[in-house]
C-alpha cells in the first residue's frame, strides 16, 4: 500500500466521513485543485493524487504499456480506492480525468456515489455528426510541435487553454505546471488523451453524474457538453459563465457552488 501511495503521491486531508476524490487533468497535478479545496475539507475527507509522470509521483513506476490507454489511468484510481478502502466516493475529474473516472466507475460502480466532470470530452476529434473541436490535421500539428519543442508548446498553449480573459497569471501558472511534467510521459499522455474515443462508454454508466461546461473552451466546445448530457444516463449539464478550460482555477466560486448543488 505504501508503494502505491508513493507512486501516485496520494494526499488525504479533511474532517468528513464522506469521501471526495479529485483527479487532475493533463499537464497538471493535485495542486491545481487548491483554489476550491477549502470549501470541502470541513465536510468531506478529500483524497488528492498525481498521475505517474506528474507532480511528485514516482516516475520509475511509469509503464508505457499500462498507460498506452486511458484504462491504465483508470486502474490507478481503482488502486487508490482499494488501498484506502474507499466506498461511495464523490469523484471530481478535470478534462481527460472525466473519462478516466467514467471508465473506473463503469468497472467498479460500487466504489462511486457520484461523478463530477469538469470540462469533459468523450472524443476530441470531429467526426460525422459529432463536434469534438479538433480536426486530425490540428492534432498532428499539435503533436509535431510538442515533439520538437515541448517547453515552447507548453508556454504557447497553456494561456489559450486557460482562456485569455482570465489574465496572464493563471496562464503562466498552467504553463509552469505543463513544464514541470515529465516531457516524454506528457507526450504519450497527450496522444492517449486526444486520440481517445469514449463515446460508446457513456451509455453504460450507472453512476449519477454532473457535467460542468465552460464558455469559450477551446478543448471542449459547448456541443460536447450537450453530447455528454444526451448520451450519458443520469447526467446533469450545467453551463457555466466561466470561460476557458479550467474553471476550478479561474472561477473557483462558481465551480464550488455548482459542485455543492449537485452533491
Cα angle: 100, vertex 214, 197; to 5 degrees: 35
Contact 35, 252 (CB under 8 A): yes
Catalytic one among 57, 95, 209, 250? 95
Closest CA to 34 of 80, 75, 85, 94: 94
d(CA 68, CA 182): 16
Q: Which grid cell is 13?
A: 486531508
Rg (Cα) of the chain, in Å, rounded?
Answer: 17
List, in order, residues 6 or more apart from 9 with CB less than 8 Å away: 29, 30, 49, 50, 55, 56, 57, 58
- Which one is catalytic: 24, 94, 245, 248? 245
Catalytic hit among 29, 76, 201, 217: 217
Asked about 217 being catalytic, the answer comes back as yes
**Contact indicator for 207, 234 with CB cutoff of 8 Å:** yes
Alpha helices in 66-149 (DSSP H): 70-83, 96-107, 136-148
CA-closest candidate to residue 228, choices 132, 131, 121: 121
Active site residues: 95, 217, 245
Amino acid at each position: 500500500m505504501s508503494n502505491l501511495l508513493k507512486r501516485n503521491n496520494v494526499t488525504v486531508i479533511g474532517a468528513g466521513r464522506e469521501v471526495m476524490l479529485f483527479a487532475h487533468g493533463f499537464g497538471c497535478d493535485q495542486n491545481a485543485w487548491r483554489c476550491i479545496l477549502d470549501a470541502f475539507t470541513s465536510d468531506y475527507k478529500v483524497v488528492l493524487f498525481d498521475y505517474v509522470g506528474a507532480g511528485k509521483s514516482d516516475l520509475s513506476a511509469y509503464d508505457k504499456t499500462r498507460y498506452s490507454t486511458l484504462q491504465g489511468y483508470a486502474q490507478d484510481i481503482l488502486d487508490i480506492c482499494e488501498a484506502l478502502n474507499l466506498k461511495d466516493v464523490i469523484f471530481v475529474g478535470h478534462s481527460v480525468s472525466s473519462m478516466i473516472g467514467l471508465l473506473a466507475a463503469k468497472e467498479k460502480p460500487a466504489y462511486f456515489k457520484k461523478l463530477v466532470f469538469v470540462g469533459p470530452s468523450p472524443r476530441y476529434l470531429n467526426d460525422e455528426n459529432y463536434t469534438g473541436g479538433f480536426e486530425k490535421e490540428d492534432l498532428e500539428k499539435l503533436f509535431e510541435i510538442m515533439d520538437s519543442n515541448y517547453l515552447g508548446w507548453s508556454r504557447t498553449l497553456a494561456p489559450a487553454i486557460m482562456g485569455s480573459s482570465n489574465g496572464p497569471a493563471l496562464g503562466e501558472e498552467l504553463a509552469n505546471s505543463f513544464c514541470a511534467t515529465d516531457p516524454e510521459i506528457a507526450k504519450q499522455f497527450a496522444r492517449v488523451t486526444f486520440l481517445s474515443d469514449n463515446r460508446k462508454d457513456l451509455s453504460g454508466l450507472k453512476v449519477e453524474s454532473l457535467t460542468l461546461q465552460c464558455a469559450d473552451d477551446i478543448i471542449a466546445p459547448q456541443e460536447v457538453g450537450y453530447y455528454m448530457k444526451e448520451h450519458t444516463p443520469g447526467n446533469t449539464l450545467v453551463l457555466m459563465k466561466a470561460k476557458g478550460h479550467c474553471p476550478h482555477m479561474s472561477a473557483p466560486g462558481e465551480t464550488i457552488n455548482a459542485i455543492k448543488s449537485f452533491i
